[in-house]
Amino acid sequence: MTTVAGVGHSFNRNPREAGREAALKALEQKGIGAPDFVFVFATVGYDQQQLIGAVREATGNAPLAGCSGEGIITNGVAAETNFSVCVMAIKSDELRFRNTRLKDIGQEADFGGGRLAAAIKPWLSTETICCFLFIDGFVIDFDPFRAALEKSLGDGHGLCLFGGLAADNWVTRRTYQYHDDEAFSEGISCVVMSGRGSITCGINHGCVPVGTKHVITRSKGNIIYEIDGMPVLELLKDYVEGDWMSQWNKISLNLCLGFRAPAAIREEYGDFLVRYMMAMDDRQGCVTIQSDVRDGTELWILRRDKELIRHGLFSVSDRIRQQMGRRQPKFVMQFECMGRGKAVFREQEKNELIASLQQRIGHDVPWIGFYTYGEIGPVNCNNCLHNFTAVVTAIY
């Protein structure tokens, strides 16, 4: 029994030509022919519907899933441009892929968690390996979504979630999710993978605390209004210089919030769960994150550390190699925070870092991923949302 995967990418600015070029490159590798499943990640400079239509046409209308990102990652490529697309085509007689999608998740209290559980529950079995999720990064509140999904699936489901929150080109305007022929927004693209195979992952955020501990004193859901009795934006002035209100994207990519990690994941993951401040309201002085908080919760202001990011990726590869032993990956998927790319590293540094990671796991392994607005991966069997983090998954 075998699994063959091919990857291709394109920087062509014409959406139909780019989609076709990336798809044909993927299909040409290892003589895949007609694929069983296709993953696509692309940036938002393209007409998304034309792009996906071209990929579908080139791959014989194979089932397809994916989303938009701030950039793409594949073998030897880590590109953060408005015009880039990568495609992975998979043919396998040992793995099975079932895909579905949800729309309008922001209109539900559980952000589609119950609906998604109802859709995928009939597909789950003892051969289920994992579920990949590509979610609109602007509308999701991950905690109620995950709670509803896991409650609806029932005890003992053991479904590991991997994936990322769809992104755009820093303008925080609109992201896209892909399902077969559709490119849509405010939704979820979902893939359940089953069969003969295993999955392992490495996760690392590379952030360190600055300053002292703080306490949330007023919040609602995933909105934080006050920390230490003052508006959040007022407190953040102590950590930045200059006219920072006009540079919110820059500030929010250099500073983030750190919450004490639950004891169940602390040993494997580290002391802090990192949260990106995805939006701010200067009138109320509040910020919005992608998971719920409560009054009285302790937090720290964190910043990224380049050396910790470097060493963290080494530990990611070491963990994956240790888990696989002598076995080789069938393919690898990487979900990398957009705050760990060109926002931190020069282009050559970034490319060398990604290339080193790929070499350490396997230089010829089919590899695909994207720069996200949030990363999804389990830690010690607990499904978690991460920010400022790399989640690297190897299927073997």
With cut-offs at 50, 70 and 90, classify the pLDDT of residue 242: low
Q: For residue 196, what pLDDT is reported?
A: 95
Asked whether the predicted pLDDT for residue 259 surpasses 70, the reply is yes
pTM reported for the whole predicted model: 0.91
C-alpha to C-alpha distance for 242 and 233, rounded to whole angstroms: 14
Residue range 375-384: mean pLDDT, rounded? 93
With cut-offs at 50, 70 and 90, classify the pLDDT of residue 211: confident
Q: For residue 5, what pLDDT is reported?
A: 97
318-363 confidence digits (pLDDT tens): 999 999 999 999 999 999 999 899 988 999 999 999 999 999 999 8
Residue range 41-51: mean pLDDT, rounded? 98
60-69 confidence digits (pLDDT tens): 999 999 999 9
In the chain, CATH 2.40.10 sits at: 207-303
Asked whether the predicted pLDDT for residue 245 surpasses 70, the reply is no
CATH topology of domain 207-303: Thrombin, subunit H (2.40.10)
The distance from CA 308 to its chain's CA centroid, rounded to whole angstroms, is: 20
152-179 confidence digits (pLDDT tens): 999 777 899 999 999 998 887 899 999 9
Q: For residue 31, what pLDDT is reported?
A: 82
**Amino acid making up residue 102:** L
Q: Which percentage of the chain shows pLDDT scores above 70?
A: 98
Q: For residue 336, what pLDDT is reported?
A: 97
Give the SS3 label for residue 353. helix
Looking at every residue in the chain, the average pLDDT score rounds to 93
Residues 6+ apart with CB under 8 A from 354: 73, 78
What are the backbone dihedrals phi and psi of residue 317, each rounded to the nearest 5 degrees, phi first? -65, -40
Asked whether the predicted pLDDT for residue 250 surpasses 80, the reply is no
Q: Hey, how many other C-beta atoms are within 10 angstroms of the C-beta on 155?
A: 7
Q: For residue 55, what pLDDT is reported?
A: 98
88-141 confidence digits (pLDDT tens): 999 999 999 999 999 999 999 999 999 999 999 999 999 999 999 999 999 999
Work out the burial of residue 290: count CB atoms within 10 Å of its CB; fewer than 13 is exposed, 13-18 middle, 19 or more buried.
Answer: buried
Considering Cα of 260, then 261, then 263, then 268, what sign does the dihedral take?
Answer: negative
